[in-house]
Chain A
Amino acid sequence: MVKVEVFKTEMCPHCPKAVALVKEVAKDLKNVEVEIIDAMQNPKRALEYGIMAVPTIVINGAKKIVGTPSKEEFIKALTSVE
């Protein structure tokens, strides 16, 4: 199982695109668990990962992608941690 966390903030206009991308890819791959996290409501989690920009996608608590990658880049990043 791969865990994907997407950090966002309420006023971030670029975050819905990252969330939609992650959900779309996760739907096709069975072994991906997705969690969407508001960095302001969960400052502890944001601090733990050193989130300084949103959207940030964290894969398995280790690999960080800042911004919204292309679908291909995201799938590549997912498969490289498996």
Chain B
Amino acid sequence: MIKHIIKLIWNKKKSNFLMFLEIFFSFLILFAVFTFVVSNLRMYQSPLGFDTEDMWLAHLSFPSELDSATVADTKLRLVRELNAKPEIISVGFTNSITPFSGSTWVTSNDDNGFDLQTWVVEADEHYGPTAGVNIVEGRWFNEEDALGKYPAVVFNRKLWEEYFDEQPVLDSIYKLNGKENIVVGIVENYKYRSEFEEEYPTTLFHKPVHDAGLASLHIRLQPGTSVQFEEEVNQTIAGITKRSDFIIENLDEKRKDNSRSTWIPMITLLSICLFLILNVALGLFGVLWYNISKRRSEIGLRRALGATADNISFQFISEIMLVTIAGILAGSFFTLQFPLMKLLEVENIDYYYAMGLSALIITVLVLVCAFYPSRQAAGINPAIALHED
């Protein structure tokens, strides 16, 4: 029966070719959209590695004409007075490479006997607990780190995995950024650029809290602190730094803003896809309907020769399914080149998911569209159909 149906499809290759093309292109388009969506969603799944809720962020600046003692004095006063407020749990400083700010700093060298490339963030001893980073090995920085022989660094797991195969690295010395550093800890994640980003190998470098290079102030608040409190913080900071050229940002809002730039194209593409799918479905339905009405006498004949109603609907569903499978296979041949040749910076698994999802949706769609017309075909009265021409 299947062989007979394949022969029938082959002999009608001209009219089936259009259907084949429709399936083929739908598959390619769905694949492209799903690759984008799946890879983004997969990245979205991996945690940021720090908290954004009840976190405020103020970018301060300490003009270069100020001597370091004055800056240190100002910063320590800030920490003391802010921590004294009951609404504030803790504060910490980083350099200007703050979450969702768009800035990055990458360094690479082969000073350790192998090529190593890492993203760089500088932070003080209070930042880790303030941001709620998740330490998996060792510890976060402490005040003694400033007194040690080597500056302290914390790796993220990605770096540990990629360059050290998760072998012990604590208390080892590595040359990074032109200096020798001692590894004191490892954090699970530190994905500070965006929720829709890969985690990159990242190193957090320690600088003491009074260092003038750390001017981004992170404030962790008691849950549910009202926005009105911002004014008070604003005045405290302005009073101590004697400057007003800073703004206080809500880190969670920043995260949402940042993610919106991916959610919006993603949802737009998916909606366009949905319309495409609906269009293809309507087209398919029309074509199937038309085909069956054109083939009424064939159906009548087959019934007269002994086909059951089930034989007829099986035939019509198989015909369309075989064309669909051919279209999906042809499409897969092209889309497989993406993972095989590593054409884009997307994980292979995302391509395979996208292919599977596209194939599944198209198959289900075709089955749904074919179901009613083929039931209709099965119900055709042979005596009437044979009488018609």
Is chain B a partner of chain A in the same complex?
no
